[in-house]
Amino acid sequence: MDTVTGAVTHDPPPPAGGRQGGPLIVTEDTELLDDLLRLCAAAGATPEVHHGVPERRGSWEAAPLVLVGDDAARRVRGAARRRGVVLVGRDQDDSGVWRRAVEIGAEHVLMLPDGEQWLVDRIADVAEGVGRPALTVGVIGGRGGAGASTLACALAVTSAREGLRTLLVDADPLGGGLDVLLGGETAEGLRWPAFASSRGRVGGGALEESLPELHSLRVLSWDRGDRIAVPPQAVRAVLAAARRRGGTVVVDLPRRIDDGVAEVLGQLDVGVLVVPAELRAVAAAGRVASAVGMVLRDLRVAVRGPYPPGLDDREVARLLGLPLVGEVPVEPGLLRPDGGTAPPGARPRGALARFCKDFWERALVEVGAA
């Protein structure tokens, strides 16, 4: 699949609700139409079909995705230029298809059957009403016991309280389960082992609805059964589905970087390294930062006191060579979860909640995912 550049003067309007309409198909090729209808059915979308540019005003412009059969390229040549137009053909050896794509302002040229999986994924995105992906933040401890899991929970709880769609992902199979930290270890819903066989595309809406809902957010955690390895491709598919729903995704990361964690790091927008203000902790955090930095570009440090003489949060950030998020407030819940039902960051006026709220306000602006 290749991208074709061309003048674009119109974007389809955003959806009014959580889901968009189906794609617009323009073709008179009955065999091609059968294939496109089959792919739409596989993606869970109901298309609108026409032989040329729809006579109904606004149909061409409003469709979230337009699939133009190569046989119909001439008939849509005069239509308004817009994003989301795909020229679909079958003849791999027809060099003229690129000229026709430019003439109609197509963004992509797709040849069947080779491009079927890409097209199913794109149609499914339309069916789910996919817009801007979630701002995805990973939290990792500079050393054991740094408080990364509790900070991850507090960030997620704060995000949900601010009205954002929020998903908290536990990427540490040896961490004991974030659902326990949130007081929801018995809550109904799927855990990581249920997704171990996931391949290809996972539906974002189906994923969200299958997970436990705790404190107005969804949680993907581990169960208390025997440890089951989740393959990297399953990790990739699940996190990609979580991000497609928009809002925020918070991931609690282990300090050991394996193939599955590398898949997570590759989808993060921001990483937060939690480091206690101790020289040994700073040294350990330096090794973690070196490993994480090989995959994640935007890694920042959050420092947790108390501070020994001559060491503060700015000095820790300088020693690590990382941007400073700030000082993580020392609250009892950050150091020793009390086992109650109130999760970390649950008190809106508490110091930890204020820290998390300030983090989200800055990150949403800086990353551009508001």
Q: Kindly tell me if the per-residue pLDDT of 13 is higher than 50.
A: no
Does the global pTM surpass 0.75? no
Q: Kindly tell me if the per-residue pLDDT of 57 is higher than 50.
A: yes
Q: Kindly tell me if the per-residue pLDDT of 370 is higher than 60.
A: no
CB 352 within 8 A of CB 345: yes
For residues 273-292, average pLDDT: 96
What pLDDT, in 10s, does the model give residues 342-367? 788 888 999 999 999 999 999 988 87
CB 200 within 8 A of CB 237: yes
What pLDDT, in 10s, does the model give residues 116-168? 988 988 888 777 766 678 999 999 999 999 999 999 999 999 999 999 999 99
Q: Kindly tell me if the per-residue pLDDT of 185 is higher than 90.
A: no
How far is Cα 154 from Cα 159, in angstroms, rounded to an integer?
Answer: 8
Query: Helix-strand-coil percent breakdown of the chain, rounded to 5?
Result: 35, 15, 45
Percent of the chain whose pLDDT exceeds 90? 63
How far is Cα 215 from Cα 157, in angstroms, rounded to an integer?
Answer: 7
Q: How far is CA 60 from CA 8, 9, 11, 65, 86, in A?
A: 14, 13, 11, 9, 13
Q: How far is CA 330 from CA 117, 159, 247, 302, 324, in A?
A: 49, 20, 27, 12, 17
How far is Cα 314 from Cα 321, in angstroms, rounded to an integer?
Answer: 10
Average pLDDT, the chain: 87
Percent of the chain whose pLDDT exceeds 70? 89
CB 241 within 8 A of CB 201: yes
